[in-house]
Amino acid sequence: MLNEFIKFSDWSITTLIALSPLVGMLLALVFPKPAENSRTIAWGVFAWSLVPLGLTLFLWLSGGFNPALASVTGDQAMIQQVDRVRWVPFFNADYFVGLDGMNFPLVFLTTALTPVCILAAFRIKQRQNVYLALMLLLESAMLGYFVSLNFLLLFLFWEFSLVPMFFIINNWGGENRRYSAFKFFVYTMAGSVGMLIIFEFIYLATGTFDLVVLSRLAQGLPVDPALLAPKLGAGYSNGATLQSMLFSAVQDVGLTSVLGNSNGTPAAIIFWCIFVAFAVKLAVWPLHTWQPDTYENAPTSGSMIVSAVMSKMGAYGMIRLMIMLFPKQTNHFAPILAIFALASILFGAYAGLAQTNLKRLIAYASINHMGYVLLGLAAAASAAPESLGNLDVAIRTSALNGVQAQMVAHGFSTAALFFLAGELYERTGTYQLDQFGGLRKVMPIFAGIMGVAMFANLGLPGLAGFVGEFFIFRGAWGTQPVITTIAVLGLIVTALVLIRMYQKIFYGPVNHKLTNLPDIKVGDWAFNVTLPLIIVLLVFGIYPKPLMDLSNYAATVMAQVFTSL
Amino acid sequence: MPFFDLAWLIPLLPLAAFVLITLVPPIGRSRKASYTTALVLLGLATVIAWGVLAQSISEGFPSAPLVTSVAAEAGQEPASEGAAAEGGHEAVEVPTFGNFYHKSFAWAPDGSGFFNFGYRLDGATVLMLAMVTLAAWCIHLFSVGYMAHDEFPAGHQRQSRFFSYIALFTASMLGMTLADNLLLFFICWELMGLCSFLLIGFWFFKPSAREAAKKAFITTRIGDVGMMLGMMYIYNKSGSLTFGHEAGQIYNGEFLESIKTAASLIPGVSAASLMAFLVFLGTVGKSAQFPLHVWLPDAMEGPTPVSALIHAATMVAAGVFLVIRTFPIFAVSDVLPVVAFIGAFTALFAALIAVAQYDIKRILAFSTLSQLGFMVAALGIGAWVAALFHLLTHAFFKALLFLGSGSVIHGMEATVGHDPDKAQDIRNMGTLRKFMPITFLTYMAGFFALIGIPPFAGFWSKDEIILDAFIKHHYVVYGVLTAAAFLTAFYMTRQIVVVFFGKFRGYEPRKAVVAAVHGHDDHGHGDHDDHHHHHEAHDPHESPRSMTIPLMILGLFAVFAGFVNAGFLGIHWFSDYVNPGGEIPDPSYMVAGIATAVALVGAGLGVLTYRNAFKNANDRDPLAGALGPIWTALENRFYIDQIYDKTFIALTYGAGWLLNWIDRHVVDRVVNLTGLVTLFIGRVNFIIDDFSLNTVTDDIGEGTITVGDGVRQSATGKIQDYGAYIFGGVVLLALIYMYAF
């Protein structure tokens, strides 16, 4: 029965994608340190980071991963390229990784951006080999998190990803690095402790950590009873759902006297614990304050990877653990999620207007953009105020497709912005916006590249950022029209924030202290870092079908869960 | 003829010019190679566009719209209701746009189907293509001469950049015109917004250009997000955004019927009305209608050919074309009176302001606002064919006038130097007809067309709008537009008399016009001013051939273009072509006679008032004394910009400051405080645990030990445990919140 919705391959390479960076990390650490200023290790690490990207692109282009493949019974998307071996028998836990439409775009995002961030890290001079090794470790942790289909494994990678990032900020960061690293670490960790406890309870109630089984259970789809071995409650019977099993476990331990006799309450508590864990990571207002500090104080390549990829771990967690395991609760609380999204959108946009520091400004713009992601998720799950008719599935699918497109596009545009901000700092020694001025005259190519990144970030049509926003807003207008109407204010103000930023740097009279800055030259290092980012932003902005095909089928299936609620 | 199949090349050729100039260094480095690339590729596009027109005339379009009986009903029904509601106004017809040609491909997945992109050719599209390609080509050619001396920094030409931008601008407009769906339309629409940002801010080192660019982008974006919501609404009701009559497309009869009656979220407003209103916000922004008109007059901070492009052939026309493209939805909605009101109001309001401006381009800018008001008002009374007609003729004669003003400025710079405040001030001009005869003659053609003197192009199209207003009993609109037409004749005559007649005053130009009023700031001029060496004593001169040839081409259209729909001569070619089978109003000698008389009276008054005005450049305007404070208000554009500065803009930045303050001093304080309190509790517990409670541990019970141990560990620096404390607080809050909810 398991094989009906997971598909092994003779040459399953998911594990290879996720864990190969670890080998590169070890090599980078043990490789005898070459003479000063040698780039051997750096180039070696860079080349190694192309391996997971190559494997991902191979899967994508060769059809080894077919995003439109349905499970044998047709009730969910087929999970492909699966590796599954017994891992901790005591917890009935497997090492279980695989790909579907919800994680493949993020695997692509991670594998594509890591080489770029590694290339950007060539600026790091102190203990460069350790830094690069940490980047590979981080990549592996993030990839492991995206492909894990067992909660224990996923949580392991989740927590583990904090470690390299902590050291990257703490040891290589800016002025306030210790405070920021500490805040980053503690905040994320604290947010997820509840989720860990709660999943232990889910395990007791169902006897499994298997996320695929749990999501089928949550949606009332048939599950092989042999996969379940509840320690508490009445056990699995036909028609049982995750919610009913949790309630039965609550009854079993006698918590009903505290929690009341409604079978939704335990699930609701669990829902909020999961939400908080991921809302911190996604930097949802008001759980976002670690984020501007972290983005400001991390070294350039660290800001790039944490904003471009790591923040998406929050959104992905919401999809995999919150929406897929607790669809009814998500549906019930969606209006509150939408309000949180709106708060992020407006706070991010307006507070961005008051920033004087370039990196903090980009950080606030990111809060705004992640607000759209949360809005899309809330929209997909919300009850519609008026009948959406036969377009109901399509509208919700739009929101979910939009979320995926937005995550990928935001990753690429923010990485480019942070990189260019770092380059401005290298050239001018400041991040203060009022210290620049007229630099387009001094560095026209720099201005052109940053212009593309900036316009992609603000969602200009023709660049990838717009695609996500368009489809998210389409879904959001369908189910949350009032909040969406207010949220478009964010589109205007973000545009103002970014245009103002761009003009403060590049327009107006030239700051006479900055008349001799070196421009980016075609083919030089900075050009090579930004070129792939710009190309991806352009390609998916003009023709998003290949990217959106990845998530479309899985999103459709997920949307159907909500139309049938 | 193969032109229908090649139509997709029309936007792609100028786009290719943009890409080549930007990315191929040998082209981008050379001024000549760049403008040649742009001219040749846009020239090819022009040939294809006119080829499409020829093919459509000789062969017709292949596909007929699938007009169902429901659509016919949808068209008929508002007749009775509308008549009752609007007090005798005739019903608005739902247009079909006639036969068409359509091709598309899958652009993005959309659940079980696809979102398709493609192009659609029908009468309205093809005429727009013909106009945009030709006018834009003329503007490109003009720019070759106009921009020839623009060097910044000295020795580095930026004209290749300029040509790449205007090529992209033209490509966007052409793509928008061809789009077969509202999303592609919107994408090109926004790309035009980008190009306007780049071109208005072309002289980015000038703070005034910087501000104008930002203003244009943000102001139009305000309208755009409204349009985007409207688009979402249409999409979520119809299932696609494709222009067409098939099921699931937005001209579909059943769809129109359903949105006409369906309730929207706002009580008492039908779905169609809300959709149309939101889409119309896009038009208000892009076509610079009141209250989002403020960006357009400032948009002339860009080089003059850009003004011609923005004000005539592209950007502002886009807003009017948007309403035409979605007119079936407007036709079944109740917002047309709003559209008519905004249009008529803008027409009069802008004409009033234009009376009191001194900058030659600014007068034309307000005249554009006013003429757009005419078109929007025409849309509002259901006369979309007349609106399209006026859009096309206006594009030609306004491009002509703007380029003419560019030629004047170019000539003036020989005398007063490269200073926009001097070279563009009409008080410094006079008798230029003698120095610049070709410019003068072509400018006069544009002038007669604009004020609506028969048989110039503007007469026919403006007459059609006024006629429609009259025979459809929209007497208020009729009256307001007539008043605006009177003012148009007056202020344009003022301009003509002061610029081309009288005595030349440029040898002693006005001293630094109050810079603050215009927000001008001349930083950066030093870098950029290569005209200074021809200072003093030089007479203004006629412009080079590359500038006068486009003027002559456009002049021909300003004179003759109106004959495609000359009602008095029995010619209805235009109406039949864009709206086959549509109703054609009978021409009225009375309406046309009144309109012509009004124009002549306006022009006559203009001549009388300004014939002897401005003996020298520092004289006051004769009306300034007569009108007093009213004049000052007009000169300051009714203080709208200042009001916006003090309200919306101040509020936005204030909100930004406030939310940032809350973020740092409330939200983040709470976080840090939680951390500190946790550490503090840890420390206190540690002390209590160690010193006071040691002896009574057993009494307290095992639980305390566990907690105490945990706390002790946290205080010794295990960050996981700080985390657990913070988490505890968060969960508690979440629980409280949840139950309270």
DSSP assignment of B331-387 equals HTSS-HHHHHHHHHHHHHHHHHHHHT--BHHHHHHHHHHHHHHHHHHHHHTT-HHHH
The predicted-structure confidence for B23-58, as pLDDT tens digits, reads as follows 888 888 888 888 999 999 999 999 999 999 999 988
Report the alpha-carbon distance of residue B515 to residue B503 in Å, rounded. Answer: 25
- Determine contact: A545 vs chain B, CB below 8 A: yes
- Hey, are the CB atoms on B720 and A189 less than 8 Å from each other? yes
pLDDT at A338 over 60: yes
- Determine contact: B191 vs chain A, CB below 8 A: yes
pLDDT at A425 over 70: yes
**Mean pLDDT confidence for A220-246:** 81
A506 interaction partners in chain B (CB closer than 8 Å): 204
DSSP B40-52: HHHHHHHHHHHHH
What's the pLDDT score for residue A365?
94
- Hey, are the CB atoms on A548 and B108 less than 8 Å from each other? yes
Structure tokens at A81: 């390229």
Report the alpha-carbon distance of residue B283 to residue A108 in Å, rounded. Answer: 39
Question: Which residues 80-109 of B have a C-beta within 8 angstroms of A?
Answer: 106-109
The predicted-structure confidence for B362-379, as pLDDT tens digits, reads as follows 999 999 999 999 999 999
How far is CA A475 from its chain centroid?
20
Structure tokens at A406: 């937005």
- Hey, are the CB atoms on B110 and A438 less than 8 Å from each other? no
Report the alpha-carbon distance of residue A201 to residue A267 in Å, rounded. Answer: 11
B114 interaction partners in chain A (CB closer than 8 Å): 545
What's the pLDDT score for residue B723?
53
- Determine contact: A488 vs chain B, CB below 8 A: yes
B671 interaction partners in chain A (CB closer than 8 Å): 183, 187, 289-290
- Determine contact: B668 vs chain A, CB below 8 A: yes
CA distance B717 to chain A (A): 11
Residue with tokens 């009993």: B473
> Which chain B residue lies closest to A361 (C-alpha atoms)?
B660
What's the pLDDT score for residue A51?
93
Report the alpha-carbon distance of residue B424 to residue B405 in Å, rounded. Answer: 8
CA distance A437 to chain B (A): 9
- Hey, are the CB atoms on B187 and A496 less than 8 Å from each other? no
A455 interaction partners in chain B (CB closer than 8 Å): 194
Identify whether the C-beta of residue B738 lies closer than 8 Å to the C-beta of residue A268: yes
Report the alpha-carbon distance of residue A488 to residue B669 in Å, rounded. Answer: 29
CA distance A228 to chain B (A): 29
Question: Which residues 9-28 of A have a C-beta within 8 angstroms of B?
Answer: none
Low pLDDT (below 50) residues in chain B: 70-88, 513-536, 695-708, 710-719, 738-741
What's the pLDDT score for residue B545?
85
- Hey, are the CB atoms on B210 and A508 less than 8 Å from each other? yes
- Among the partner-chain residues A355, A391, A503, the one whose CB lies closest to the CB of B210 is A503
Structure tokens at B45: 């596009």
CA distance B137 to chain A (A): 24
- Determine contact: B471 vs chain A, CB below 8 A: no
Which residue stretches of B417-456 are H helix? 420-423, 432-435, 437-451
Residue with tokens 């139950």: B739
> How far is residue B239 from each of residues A340, A545, B115, B176, B259, measured CA to CA in Å?
29, 18, 10, 21, 13
pLDDT at A36 over 60: no
What's the pLDDT score for residue B313?
75
- Determine contact: A72 vs chain B, CB below 8 A: no
- Determine contact: A494 vs chain B, CB below 8 A: no
> Which chain B residue lies closest to A386 (C-alpha atoms)?
B265
Q: Which of B110, B172, B186, B527 to mutate to test binding with chain A, by most A CBs within 10 Å of its CB?
A: B110
Q: Which residues contact B692 (CB under 8 A, 6 or more apart)?
A: none
Report the alpha-carbon distance of residue A225 to residue B706 in Å, rounded. Answer: 39
CA distance A435 to chain B (A): 16
Identify whether the C-beta of residue A437 lies closer than 8 Å to the C-beta of residue A509: yes
- Determine contact: A197 vs chain B, CB below 8 A: no
Identify whether the C-beta of residue A441 lies closer than 8 Å to the C-beta of residue A510: yes
- Determine contact: A540 vs chain B, CB below 8 A: no
Which residue stretches of A509-544 are H helix? 525-542
Q: Which of B18, B183, B211, B236 to mutate to test binding with chain A, by most A CBs within 10 Å of its CB?
A: B236
- Hey, are the CB atoms on A545 and B109 less than 8 Å from each other? yes
- Determine contact: B719 vs chain A, CB below 8 A: yes
- Hey, are the CB atoms on B228 and A488 less than 8 Å from each other? yes
CA distance A219 to chain B (A): 20
- Hey, are the CB atoms on B723 and A508 less than 8 Å from each other? no
Which residue stretches of A429-515 are H helix? 439-442, 444-457, 464-479, 481-506
- Hey, are the CB atoms on B191 and A509 less than 8 Å from each other? no
- Hey, are the CB atoms on A474 and B235 less than 8 Å from each other? yes
Confidence label for A403 from pLDDT (cuts 50, 70 and 90): very high
Question: Which residues 486-525 of B have a C-beta within 8 angstroms of A?
Answer: 523-524
Q: Which residues contact A53 (CB under 8 A, 6 or more apart)?
A: A111, A112, A114, A115
Q: Which of A545, A553, A563 to mutate to test binding with chain B, by most B CBs within 10 Å of its CB?
A: A545
Q: Which residues contact B333 (CB under 8 A, 6 or more apart)?
A: B260, B270, B272, B273, B275, B276, B277
What's the pLDDT score for residue B532?
43
- Determine contact: B153 vs chain A, CB below 8 A: yes
Could you tell me what percentage of chain A is helix, strand and coil, using 3-state DSSP and rounding each to the nearest 5?
A: 70, 5, 25
Q: Which residues contact A74 (CB under 8 A, 6 or more apart)?
A: none
- Hey, are the CB atoms on B229 and A276 less than 8 Å from each other? no
- Determine contact: A184 vs chain B, CB below 8 A: no
pTM for this one?
0.89
- Hey, are the CB atoms on A268 and B738 less than 8 Å from each other? yes
Domains of chain B: which residue ranges?
A: 337-635, 648-740
- Determine contact: B266 vs chain A, CB below 8 A: no
> Which chain B residue lies closest to A454 (C-alpha atoms)?
B194
Report the alpha-carbon distance of residue B331 to residue B256 in Å, rounded. Answer: 9
What's the pLDDT score for residue A398?
93
Question: What distance, in Å, lies between the first and last C-alpha atoms of chain B?
Answer: 68
Q: What is the DSSP letter of B64?
A: P
A484 interaction partners in chain B (CB closer than 8 Å): 229, 232
What's the pLDDT score for residue B51?
93
- Among the partner-chain residues A193, A289, A477, the one whose CB lies closest to the CB of B233 is A477
- Hey, are the CB atoms on A477 and B107 less than 8 Å from each other? no
Identify whether the C-beta of residue B523 lies closer than 8 Å to the C-beta of residue B632: no
